Amino acid sequence: MGKAIYIEGIGTQSGLADDTKGLALGIGGTGVIMKAQMGLDQLTAHVQSLPPGIVVVDVFGFSRGAAAARHFINKLLALNLGRPLRVGFVGLFDTVAAIGSAADGLDTSDDNNLGVSLYLAPGCADQVVQLTAHHEYRVNFALNSISATHREIPLYGAHSDIGGGYLAGEERIPIARPYEVTMMMGDQAALKAFKSEATKRYYEAQKVYQAYLAEPSQLKDELHQYSIPTPSGGRTGYIANTVMTRYVKPELQLLAGHLMRQLAAESGVPIQALAETIPDELTAIFTAYQAAATTGGLPTLTPEQEHLIMTQYAHCSDSWVTSAGLFVNAPAPSRTRMVYQQQQGK
């Protein structure tokens, strides 16, 4: 008889306000380690009520939840529950541990995971699969990869295009770091130089983010002006930014969900079909996803299919929006995602 045990996401508690420490750093009472322990406690209690026989545990997780799933598996395999147990299927959606603390300067971009056991040894489960976000670039969302040891499949889209969570809606984001200059009021030479540099940055951003644009009008160069009174007559400040505005559909996340469900079912997991169906215009693309699960590598799409996904479905998660004065979603250097391969002992 199967039983599903759900552990709430990192930093969240049912009926309570979200926990800042857990959300921001993945630590504390709602952090990765504690969520894994909650899973162990619930599983241990459930196992005691089962009739004799082997216990098979299938594990799924997304983002820091995938990190918690990996930690959970390692702790589970080290337990003695007094009966035979094995881990069956492990389904990971884009593991991002992103653990930070005062000890490492609150850095969530490094691979110092502060006691979280991410290494999944060969043979730890019947099958381990990770779906990863090919178009995730944020510096604070480094991928904790398993590709050297287990099956890893890159898919189109950003982090939550793989693990889910997006709703349909307008995406309006600054895609270049704000460029700010102050000058003496009326300094036309300085203003001309500022506008020239702002235009240069606009075209650089346009080149980098071109794949997301269905039409040029989705990109705008915005200029803001403010005054700074001074005893000598005042200065003027200018801030330029390049803003991308698109309407993005949410259904790309369904492709990853349906693919993982299929792989789990093929591995023997008693898992129900997903209620949400794949849109007709994405069914051929899902066929390419299924093929990629067999052959490996990014799904092979036609130029038209790739254009459809990138301009209408794939979210752009990196941006220069500020939160409490910080660029928490800034892209990694050269807009290249950092990838940390799993290592024994970490």
Give residue-wise pLDDT tens across range 53-63: 999 999 999 99
Q: Residue 56: its pLDDT value, please? A: 95
Give the CA radius of gyration of the chain.
Answer: 23
- The residue among 296 and 151 whose pLDDT is bigger is 151
- pLDDT at residue 334 greater than cutoff 60: yes
- Which tokens sit at 183? 């000058």
Instruction: List pLDDT tens digits, range 143-176.
Output: 999 999 999 999 999 999 999 999 999 999 999 9
Bin 55: left if φ > 0, else alpha if -120 < ψ < 50, else beta.
beta
CA 99 to CA 152: how far, in whole Å?
Answer: 22
Q: Give φ, ψ of 233 to 5 degrees.
A: 125, -10
- pLDDT at residue 1 greater than cutoff 80: no
With cut-offs at 50, 70 and 90, classify the pLDDT of residue 211. very high
What is the CATH T-level fold of the domain 20-168+249-341, as seen in this structure? Answer: Rossmann fold (3.40.50)
- pLDDT at residue 96 greater than cutoff 90: yes
- pLDDT at residue 207 greater than cutoff 70: yes
**What SS3 string covers 284-295?**
HHHHHHHHHHHH
What are the residue ranges spanned by the domains of the chain?
20-168+249-341, 170-248
CA 161 to CA 63: how far, in whole Å?
Answer: 12
What average pLDDT does this structure show over 314-337?
A: 95
Q: Residue 15: its pLDDT value, please? A: 81
Instruction: List pLDDT tens digits, range 236-272.
Output: 999 999 999 999 999 999 999 999 999 999 999 999 9
- pLDDT at residue 232 greater than cutoff 90: no
CA 83 to CA 48: how far, in whole Å?
Answer: 10
Letter for the amino acid at 133?
Answer: A
With cut-offs at 50, 70 and 90, classify the pLDDT of residue 49. confident
CA 253 to CA 157: how far, in whole Å?
Answer: 8
Comparing CA positions, the residue from 90, 81, 84, 83 lying closest to residue 59 is: 90
- pLDDT at residue 233 greater than cutoff 80: no
What average pLDDT does this structure show over 321-335?
A: 93
Q: Residue 346: its pLDDT value, please? A: 82
Query: Helices in the chain by DSSP H: which ranges?
Result: 20-25, 32-47, 64-78, 159-163, 188-208, 252-266, 283-295, 303-308
Q: Residue 19: its pLDDT value, please? A: 84
pTM: 0.94
What average pLDDT does this structure show over 39-58?
A: 92
- The residue among 105 and 216 whose pLDDT is bigger is 216
Comparing CA positions, the residue from 8, 20, 12 lying closest to residue 100 is: 20
Instruction: List pLDDT tens digits, range 167-192.
Output: 999 999 999 999 999 999 989 999 99
Greatest mean pLDDT among 45-49, 52-56, 118-122 lies in 118-122
Q: Residue 16: its pLDDT value, please? A: 83
Average pLDDT score, the chain: 94
Integer distance in angstroms from the first to the last C-alpha of the chain?
34
CA 22 to CA 12: how far, in whole Å?
Answer: 8
CA 192 to chain centre: 40
